[in-house]
Amino acid sequence: MKRIYNFSAGPAILPLKVLEEAQSEMLDYQGTGMSVMEMSHRSKTYQQIIDDAEADLRKLVGIPSNYKVLFLQGGATLQFSMIPMNLMKNQSADYIISGHWAKKAAEEAEKYGKVNIIASSQDKMFSYIPDLKNLHISKDADYVHICDNNTIYGTKYYELPNTDGKPLVSDMSSSFLSEPIDIKKYGVIYAGAQKNVGPAGTVIVIIREDLIRKDLPSYTPIMMRYDIQAENQSMYNTPPTYGIYLCGKVFKWLLNLGGLEAIHKINVEKAKLIYDYLDGSSMFFGTVEKKSRSIMNVCFKSTSEQLDEKFIKEAKANGFDNLKGHRSVGGMRASIYNAMPVEGVKALVDFMKIFEHQNGGKA
Amino acid sequence: MKRIYNFSAGPAILPLKVLEEAQSEMLDYQGTGMSVMEMSHRSKTYQQIIDDAEADLRKLVGIPSNYKVLFLQGGATLQFSMIPMNLMKNQSADYIISGHWAKKAAEEAEKYGKVNIIASSQDKMFSYIPDLKNLHISKDADYVHICDNNTIYGTKYYELPNTDGKPLVSDMSSSFLSEPIDIKKYGVIYAGAQKNVGPAGTVIVIIREDLIRKDLPSYTPIMMRYDIQAENQSMYNTPPTYGIYLCGKVFKWLLNLGGLEAIHKINVEKAKLIYDYLDGSSMFFGTVEKKSRSIMNVCFKSTSEQLDEKFIKEAKANGFDNLKGHRSVGGMRASIYNAMPVEGVKALVDFMKIFEHQNGGKA
């Protein structure tokens, strides 16, 4: 059995312990004589699995009782539609455009009402988080939408916009559970599991109860109603049972590790290892403004595209996979989610130093 | 490691060989050094997995080249909305109501146009497939919708309605791949994977290309457009990668077994074992009309509710799990999908005989 250091932006690395547990339970979950994926979602055993997952997530994040936790399908992209369908009472919302996915979310919302782009960093290829001072929040806005961590560009919000009391909606797909979250500051948080939490096919939604409406447009598909999903505790139809089971294992892994403060400390340490090296290198450099740097997705380039290509190829041969940057940015991207061990990042930096030295850099 | 005979209606039993393979590949898929669930859906390795899954499904079923195969999320319930959103050009469709899910599909379609119920078996608690002679197909109907196999009641279509040339749309969630399918007779087939094909969270859609429209209502969520999903080969966003991988393994398992004719023969044999016993029993009896009997979900009762309860309890203690019927029908239901071996059904029948004998029956 070979395991490599997997820097994929998502679907991404999962904790080895979680995979090993899933492996050992694959044919027989705790003496039931069946795999979790063979279980009725209405069985007591499965109910316990999803109840534990929710309870552990609530404990891990500190989710107040006036917020619902939903495990849904369709990824963040289906949330791009569900958010405006369910929240646009006045058919108006403010969006801050900090990257590709934030833009996609805004474009989708335009189907359901007026979308006001109140800030954007598209002028410099999304290499920074827009200035949040002097934002003009629309009077009739039903919510303000941000994308917390921009996977493609490697940027992250370090302060939140003042929304003038409007609910803040945050797409946290690539930063969820990487640091403590003060849930009270948000109206809705959503996150596709496949980056930092579990396998693709589950999206987690945390929504303040008073934002769940019943008077929705008649065309709203029943599966896309937060009220229906909340009333049925994510089981209006068969949920992605196996994915939720794995998310639950990741929550337990994080609790055992000491919770979100503990993992945040580790994540900061991992990111610092790479960024410090990049800042001292004569060959590699980070591609975004320092104050906007993500601790989950580290984007960088070398002095030439040829060298980028050579680096990616040699890195792969040495057991560091999925370092190619997104096609819209080029260069490299090291996604260092919770499950990436510190040793993986140290090994990568060591490899970069050797590569730099061997290819004429000063290191 | 214990394995029991699992008669769950869904999520349901999977082939042991498929689970064993998934188990062995959990930490390292074919030397890549990562689990399939840790792989980028844009990687060459994963592209091969989804391409193989589609190719194997096409081979297994014999899907003509003018049909698209999609692997989507949201289960059959999201299809209840997607079908009318995408197909209702004239805002009209005909539905045949043969059970709970067919009814749910029709109710959802009413949000998007006029729904004509052209036949129903609700008068006798859905214990038969409605008479298909003298159907009045609506002139302006965009399609005719049926639910092929009714999981809750245990009934199945053995002939198809004459739709006067309108596209036939069939929800095959609980019968897909249990028998040969003549795809040309259908406009759209859809099936939630969690009954006969794979884990929950993947729904398979087979759609004739000319039914894929671009001029859709402006409110259609981008994820719910067949044109977008088809153009992007089910990868407009991250698909349920692990679920599709498992579906692919099930397709290969069926091909190795000899294909749909071979599995159909086995399924008929399994169903006959139970139905023959039921028809001769003085204690147990089938609950649906003989000519509508499903070969996937066998619903039956004993002479009293107390005896039903006793039977379910003792069966479970003897390694036959999930035999309780749906709450709306009561009694028992043995779901004997493809993955249930003949020995499992034989063992169940033997157990029923003993139970009947021990509890005062004639057997």
Between CA A187 and CA A143 the distance in angstroms is 8
Question: Tokens at residue B333, please?
Answer: 């239901």
DSSP annotation of B176 reads: T
The pTM (predicted TM-score) of the whole model is 0.98
Predicted complex ipTM: 0.97
CB contact under 8 A, B73 and A76: no
Q: Is B187 on the interface with A (CB under 8 A)?
A: no
Number of CB atoms found within 10 A of residue B131's CB? 9
> Using CA of residue B113, residue A76, residue B104, residue B264, what is the dihedral sign?
positive
Distance from CA of A195 to the nearest CA of B (A): 9
E strand or H helix at B155: strand B155-156
Query: How many angstroms separate the CA atoms of B26 and B308, rounded?
Result: 40
The pLDDT tens digits for B192-215 are: 999 999 999 999 999 999 999 999
Which 3-state string (H, E, C) describes A272-339?
A: HHHHHHHHHCCCCEECCCHHHECCCEEEEECCCHHHHHHHHHHHHHCCEECCECCCCCCCEEEECCCC
Compute the average pLDDT of residues A103-117.
98
CA B232 and chain centroid, separation: 25
Q: Quote the DSSP letter at residue B77.
A: H
Mean pLDDT of A111-121: 98
Task: Determine what percent of chain B is predicted with pLDDT higher than 90.
Answer: 98
Mean pLDDT of B149-176: 98
Q: Do A76 and B237 touch (CB under 8 A)?
A: yes
User: pLDDT grade, residue A243 (50/70/90)?
Assistant: very high
Share of chain A above pLDDT 70, in %: 99
- Beta strands at B203-208 and B188-192: parallel, antiparallel or unpaired: antiparallel
At A68 the three-state DSSP class reads strand
CA B232 – CA A75 distance, rounded (Å)? 16
The CA-based dihedral angle spanning residues B140, B112, B192, B299, taken in that order and rounded to the nearest 10 degrees: -70
Coil/strand/helix, residue B275: helix
Chain A residues 220-239 with CB within 8 Å of chain B: 220-224, 236-239
Task: Look at residue B362 and tell me whether its pLDDT is greater than 80.
Answer: no
pLDDT in tens, A263-311: 999 999 999 999 999 999 999 999 999 999 999 999 999 999 999 999 9
User: Could you give the CA distance from residue A40 to residue B348 in angstroms, rounded to a whole number?
Assistant: 19
Q: Write out the H or E segment, with its range, that includes residue B331.
A: none
pLDDT category of residue A361 using cuts at 50, 70 and 90: confident
Angle, CA A190 vertex, CA A187 and CA A193 arms, to 5° = 160
Which chain B residues touch A38 with a CB distance below 8 Å? 6, 8, 11-14
Residue with tokens 């890195």: A315
A219, pLDDT greater than 80: yes
Of the candidates B239, B220, B231, the residue with the CA atom closest to the CA atom of residue B84:
B220
- How far apart CA A84 and CA A224 sit, in angstroms, is 11
Residue B353 pLDDT? 97
Known catalytic residue at A101: yes
Look over chain A and give the mean of its residue pLDDT values, rounded to a whole number.
Answer: 97
Q: Does pLDDT of A159 surpass 80?
A: yes
pLDDT at position A226 is 98
Give yes or no for A51 touching B (CB within 8 A): no
Q: Is 60 exceeded by the pLDDT of residue B363?
A: no
> Which of these is catalytic: A56, A68, A94, A101?
A101
For A335, A349, B42, the CA distances from A265, given in Å and listed in that order, are 17, 19, 31
Q: Which of B4, B97, B99 is nearest to B297 (CA)?
A: B99
The pLDDT > 90 percentage for chain A reads 98
Tally A–B CB contacts below 8 A: 227
